Amino acid sequence: MSAIVPERAVIDWDRTARTGLPEAVYAEGKSREQIVDILLQARQVGKPLLITLFAAECVAELPAELQAELDYDERSRTAFFGAVPATRPSGIMIVAAGLSDMPVVGEAARTLAFCGVGCEIVADVGVAGLWRLLERVEEIRAARLIIAVAGMEGALFSVLAGLVPAPIIAVPTSVGRGVAQGGQVALHSALASCAPGLVCVNVDNGFGAAQAALRMSVAWRQRDTNALVQTHPIQAQ
């Protein structure tokens, strides 16, 4: 009986050239051998990788030499393999209802950081204590784009969208007991929101929210560059 050979990942190394966003690896469900092969491919071509849903126990199973090359964050379960650019200010802000939502916040922030994009984080401003949000609303209003992260009933999404002018990407999380249904209630709250213009990604998908934010930010970065060229052409070079 022949041995079963694990399927080999085919990495999309040219994705950045086509879309402006780099390839990322979804680690959950992949074997140790497949992850090792992916990292060795990245090393061979000399390109960095973002790895998501990467459990600490899976990282611990990797050869020591590969572990040493990872920038791993256990809370967000993300890793950078290879050199990544320094972050620059972006105007993107992540607003989280509770500290229990921070793993998803971390995934979004790390996805942005992998692309060299910094962000501000405002945490623990859920509407059960509305004063917490109102105390920081002027700070939040300065953001150019907001990723809002909340579980349970997801009330933060509509409340925030009624207070600030920036586009908001809602990320429902699986935080919550019983009828919260693993994030379904927060998801439905975002989708059924009375606040016009609110957009939503899937439950716990901090990565997807960050990717959406990156795509949206391309337009304003191009606009800002064009404006700078028109007024101060030397500075724009």
Give per-residue pLDDT as tens, 91-149: 999 999 999 999 999 999 999 999 999 999 999 999 999 999 999 999 999 999 999 99
| Domain CATH for 140 | 3.40.50.1970
4 belongs to a structural domain:
no
Give 149-169 pLDDT, tens digit per residue. 999 999 999 999 999 999 999
Domain that holds residue 70: 15-81
Whether residues 66 and 143 share a domain: the answer is no
Q: What is the mean pLDDT of residues 61-71?
A: 95
Query: For tokens 């998803």, what's the residue?
Result: 104
Residues 61 and 153 in one domain: no
Mean pLDDT value of segment 87-93: 92
Q: Which helix (H) or strand (E) holds 172?
A: strand 168-172
> Do both 27 and 48 map to the same domain?
yes
Number of domains observed in the structure of the chain? 2
Q: State the Cα–Cα distance between residues 182 and 171, nearest whole angstrom.
A: 13
Q: Considering the entire predicted model, what is its pTM?
A: 0.88
Cβ contacts of 6-12, under 8 Å, gap ≥ 24? 6/31, 6/33, 6/34, 6/37, 7/34, 8/34, 8/37, 9/34, 9/37, 9/38, 9/41, 11/38, 11/41, 11/42, 11/49
48 is a domain residue: yes
In a shared domain, residues 210 and 140: yes
Q: Give dist(CA 236, CA 229) in Å, integer.
A: 5
Q: What is the reported pLDDT for 24?
A: 93
Instruction: Tell me the pLDDT of the chain averaged across its residues.
Output: 90
69/97 same-domain check:
no
Given a cut of 50, is residue 232 above it in pLDDT? no
Residue 4: partners with Cβ closer than 8 Å, 6 or more residues away: none
User: Could you tell me if 146 and 180 lie in one domain?
Assistant: yes
**Res. 221 pLDDT band, cuts 50 70 90:** low
pLDDT of residue 107: 98
More confident position, 19 or 69: 69
Does one domain contain both 203 and 129?
A: yes
Does residue 236 carry a pLDDT above 50?
no
- Same domain? For 117 and 70 the reply is no
Do residue 97 and residue 192 come from a single domain?
yes
pLDDT at 230: 52
User: Does one domain contain both 51 and 127?
Assistant: no
Q: Say if residue 53 is in the same domain as residue 164.
A: no
Mean pLDDT, residues 23-30 taken together: 94
What confidence score (pLDDT) does residue 112 get?
97
